[in-house]
Structure 1
Amino acid sequence: MSLTRRLALLSLLALVACGAPGTNAPPAPEGVIFAPNFSDIHPVDFQGRAPQRFPVQGIDAARFQDSIDWNKARRNGVNFAFLKATEGGDLLDPAFKHHWRDAGRAGVERGAYHFYYFCTSPEDQARWFIRNVPRTPGMLPPVLDMEWNPFSPTCAHIRPPARDVRDQMRRWIKIVEAHFGQRPIIYTTPKFYEDNGLRSFRGYDFWLRSTAENVSEAYPGQSWKFWQYSATGIIPGIVGEVDLNVFNGSRADWTAWLAAHKR
């Protein structure tokens, strides 16, 4: 064999061993919790316990994250992912199906979320979510995403009284919980939380957005399971920016929570 061909063969073998550009990394062992290898374009100096100190981290993803090597992302600390499924009563995120499939194949703990609109009944929205999200063994609880929506051409101006908001949430949750056999997680923002008195929801796990201050400062006294602390994360295996999240607890707490909440 000529020296040139020998060098070419060695180069090819090296690429196969390391993962050639554009190919997926091999699946990681099931059940392993990976330490985060995350960076942030706009990092925040959070007061109190910084999110980087939480051992179990993950992301949420939608159509904006259109190129994810889930195996590689998992090995770099994406232990869980909340994936956008639906909006209102007739919008399906175009990336949901392949995110759902590929994250599952990579062993990422995954759940689906619904972005709520106030111009469609909670019953219609619950049925739309159920129609598009499969009851998959091992899935995380469904998520109800509650925030004011300034971008919708039809719903942006509709802001019901707080009592009506809470009633609509409970109606959506009742239907979805009955179908999936899991109590949904509530996602919200500081303003929506305060405007609508969501502290009155007891017995629910909260996923809270707070990208400018510590979650304990943004939601005084509120217990939480997940904290979305950045919208500008960078993770190997994901092209572009992505939301970063932490689980509130130790690795043992995470394992126990999964055992109690996965379907």
Structure 2
Amino acid sequence: MKRRNPLLRWSATVWSAAVVSGLALCTPATAAPSYEGADDHYAGSQIEKYEGVAGAPNVEYTASDQVLGHDVSGHQGAVDWTAAAKAGAKFVYVKATEGTGFVNPQFAQQYNGSYQAGITRGSYHFARPDVSDGATQANYFLAHGGGWSKDGKTLPGAVDMEYNPYGETCYGKDPAGMVAWVKSFSDTYRARTGRLPTIYTSTSWWKRCTGNSAALGANPLWLARYNTQIGELPAGWHSQAIWQFADAGSLPGDQNWLNGPLTSLRNLAIG
């Protein structure tokens, strides 16, 4: 029987290992998600960019039928909450997180400071469906300020669904994939807090990226529309809980009206 040269066998083994090692070294690593500019990604920052501003509301509301509030992010820096309360602010949503890699550096001052000034507060998450699934981001949000308590002064957390500031409008997802992502976030948040999260979006984005799905109609709607009227709502909702109608005004941050009197604000907070 002819015996194989052990030196040749050893050389072949070393060569195979070297090839595998070389392939591993040449395989490009997956790039980490970008969070460049995340401090300036606030609720409506991309909606204004893509949809524009077509006027201010042409309706006069009073405290008996609409409640004035606003939303802030790290973009505003530290906020004078005493002044905001004196200017009429009754509620605020504060950006807490983005994706799974960014926490608002001003969150503690904004979230706790508003509460101490007697303003009903809630927190929101800037969604990044391109970096991880909805459940993962709901848990990240909850771990960094997105919780809820039944104290009558804390709003349910909100998820900000709007145009992708980093690339493709719908974060590379088709309508079915986007609906599944939002449902995953919503279901996870509800399982851990007992509350459905508020969904922030615009009708145009919702139509484009979810196919105008009616699947999330049980969640409170925070509608973004910078126009004279609220206009068409996304499918599944018969009314909005909150209307974000302007990106600036007498209060810090964006301007919002809660749809109803102060009792509605308390109802939204308590659930």
What TM-score comes out, normalization by structure 2 length?
Answer: 0.70
Out of 57, 62, 68, which is 2:68 matched to?
57
Match of 1:30 in 2: none
Residues 1:225 and 2:237 aligned together: no
Q: In the superposition, relative to structure 1, how do residues 63 and 109 fare at CA in structure 2: closer, same or farther (>3 Å)?
A: same
Any conservation in 2 of the 1:199–1:222 contact (CA below 8 Å)?
Answer: no
Out of 143, 149, 152, which is 1:131 matched to?
143
Residues 1:183 and 2:199 aligned together: no
Match of 1:171 in 2: 184
CA–CA distance in structure 2, aligned partners of residues 78 and 43 of structure 1: 24
Aligned-pair distance for 1:125? Answer: 1.0
Any conservation in 1 of the 2:56–2:245 contact (CA below 8 Å)?
Answer: no
AA matched with 2:133: S
CA–CA distance in structure 2, aligned partners of residues 118 and 227 of structure 1: 24
Q: Secondary structure at the match of 1:215?
A: coil
Match of 2:25 in 1: none
CA–CA distance in structure 2, aligned partners of residues 92 and 103 of structure 1: 18
Q: In the superposition, relative to structure 1, how do residues 186 and 127 fare at CA in structure 2: closer, same or farther (>3 Å)?
A: same
Q: Secondary structure at the match of 2:121?
A: strand
AA matched with 1:180: T
AA matched with 2:178: V
AA matched with 1:216: G
The count of residues paired between Structure 1 and Structure 2 equals 211
Q: Secondary structure at the match of 2:223?
A: strand
Out of 156, 167, 175, which is 1:141 matched to?
156
Any conservation in 2 of the 1:57–1:79 contact (CA below 8 Å)?
Answer: yes
Between structure 1 and structure 2, the one with the greater Rg is 2
Aligned-pair distance for 1:193? Answer: 1.6
Match of 1:12 in 2: none
Structure 2: where are the runs of 5+ without partners?
Answer: 1-52
Q: Secondary structure at the match of 2:179?
A: helix
Match of 2:214 in 1: 199
- Cα RMSD of the aligned pairs, angstroms, is 2.5
CA–CA distance in structure 2, aligned partners of residues 227 and 81 of structure 1: 12
Match of 1:102 in 2: 113
Q: Secondary structure at the match of 1:56?
A: strand
Any conservation in 2 of the 1:70–1:103 contact (CA below 8 Å)?
Answer: yes
1:17-61 deviations in Å (ceiling 9; x for gaps): xxxxxxxxxxxxxxxxxxxxxxxxx993535x4567753110000
Match of 1:118 in 2: 129
CA–CA distance in structure 2, aligned partners of residues 52 and 117 of structure 1: 36
What TM-score comes out, normalization by structure 1 length?
Answer: 0.72
Any conservation in 1 of the 2:160–2:201 contact (CA below 8 Å)?
Answer: yes
Match of 1:5 in 2: none
Q: In the superposition, relative to structure 1, how do residues 45 and 141 fare at CA in structure 2: closer, same or farther (>3 Å)?
A: closer
Any conservation in 2 of the 1:89–1:125 contact (CA below 8 Å)?
Answer: yes
